[in-house]
Homo-oligomer: A and B are copies of this chain.
Amino acid sequence: MPLSEKRLIDRIRRRAYGSRARSLVAGIGDDCAVLRVPPGHELLVTTDFTIEGVHFRRDWHPPQLIGRRCLTRGLSDIAAMGGDPRAAFLSLAVAGNVPQNWVDRFFTGLLDLANEFKIPLAGGDTAQSDHGIQADIVAVGSVPRGTAVLRSGARPGDRIYVTGELGGAAAELARLRKSRSAKTTTWKYSQYLSPHPRIAVGKILRRLRIASAMIDLSDGLSTDLEHICNESHVGAEIDASAIPRARNHQHVGERTPAAIALEFALHGGDDYELLFTSSAAVPARIAGVPVTCIGRILPSSGMRMRMIDAEGKSRPLRAAGWEHFKRA
């Protein structure tokens, strides 16, 4: 059954966290949403495309997960500024041959996460696409004036930290690629199955002025660290053995499950953990999430990023972009 725009909009209006949100003056059903930002706050805005064949495959990924990841990408950017999420907007284009049931389940995943953070899906756009599915999420948040944590604040001598474990999403994706079918795969790495934007951690890091620079890990550690180096005009050295690598959380047995390969943790994307720098004392756990020191910021030089490998040798580290499904 093809997507009916009016039915879809009515459905979202019914299910979205709407009139309960204090920040929302007018939502879906007008030319613009009208939002209230707390006095003295600045506004945070981010947009992220999620495209079939590039960011997900319909035969690999359950629709709820795609919907949840779609909003996670936006909220994770708000977290990386130390912000409070206020509202989300979704522009969704769907080809005529996509079943209504797929769209419903996509919204279930997205709205479940929106409800967790008590933010309204305040508007957006729907269109019939020629080909496949394209979703653009807009997340709006706020921070007290002048306190947003930027990428540009890292200084030589700062330590480099990450939250949680890295590489689970990339490891899961490699497993999917190998098995060539989602049906024969059980999900092992929870980050990929049910990513959780680190809003609470980001807010604490901002409020206590712990983080000098911050970014979320969406493109992979090496790429996102390079963004901090570029914007802060600094270099960085990380210690390979310190990087917290994802483990199989569904492992049942006596031995500790083996950690995934370093490459996944170093270059794999879609983890939605936070990477930040600090010159302050940093607790080992913030809002229940483990925080690990993985290196330090250096003065800028010709060789901008380096890594101390398992043998204790320092070698150049290059950003290796996260490629999603381009060559899947």
Using a CB–CB cutoff of 8 Å, the interface residues on chain A facing chain B are 25-26, 29-37, 39, 42-49, 51-55, 77-78, 80-81, 83, 87, 89-91, 93, 122-132, 134, 136, 138-141, 143, 145, 148, 150-152, 214-216, 231, 326
Q: Which residues of B contact A42 (CB under 8 A)?
A: 25, 34-37
Interface SS majority for chain A: strand
Residue among A44, A53, A89, A128 with most chain B CB within 10 A? A44
Q: Which residues of B contact A122 (CB under 8 A)?
A: 45
Number of copies: 2
Q: Which residues of B contact A140 (CB under 8 A)?
A: 43, 45
**10 A-B pairs (CB sep. < 8 Å):** A31-B46, A31-B215, A32-B45, A32-B78, A32-B80, A37-B43, A39-B39, A45-B122, A53-B130, A138-B138
Beta-carbon contact of B32 and A123 below 8 Å: no
Beta-carbon contact of A32 and B83 below 8 Å: yes
Beta-carbon contact of B151 and A30 below 8 Å: yes
How many Å lie between the Cα of A288 and that of B78 in the bound state?
Answer: 42
Q: Which residues of B contact A45 (CB under 8 A)?
A: 32-33, 35, 87, 89, 122-123, 138, 140
Beta-carbon contact of B26 and A123 below 8 Å: no
Beta-carbon contact of B138 and A93 below 8 Å: no
Partner of A32, one of B35, B53, B81, B136: B81
Partner of A141, one of B32, B89, B143: B32
Beta-carbon contact of B231 and A29 below 8 Å: yes
Beta-carbon contact of B51 and A43 below 8 Å: no
Beta-carbon contact of B32 and A77 below 8 Å: yes
Q: Which residues of B contact A123 (CB under 8 A)?
A: 45-47
A215 — nearest CB in chain B belongs to which residue? B31
A76 — nearest CB in chain B belongs to which residue? B31
Q: Which residues of B contact A93 (CB under 8 A)?
A: 49, 51, 54, 134
Q: Could you tell me the distance in whole angstroms from the C-beta of A198 to the nearest C-beta in chain B?
A: 12
13 extra interface residue pairs, beta carbon distance < 8 Å, beyond A43-B43, A45-B140, A51-B130: A31-B151, A31-B215, A32-B46, A33-B45, A35-B42, A35-B44, A45-B123, A45-B138, A47-B91, A47-B123, A47-B124, A47-B136, A54-B129
Residue among A33, A132, A140, A231 with most chain B CB within 10 A? A33
How many Å lie between the Cα of A215 and that of B29 in the bound state?
Answer: 11
Sorted nearest first, the 7 A-B pairs with minimum C-beta distance are A136-B136, A31-B80, A32-B44, A31-B77, A53-B130, A35-B43, A32-B46
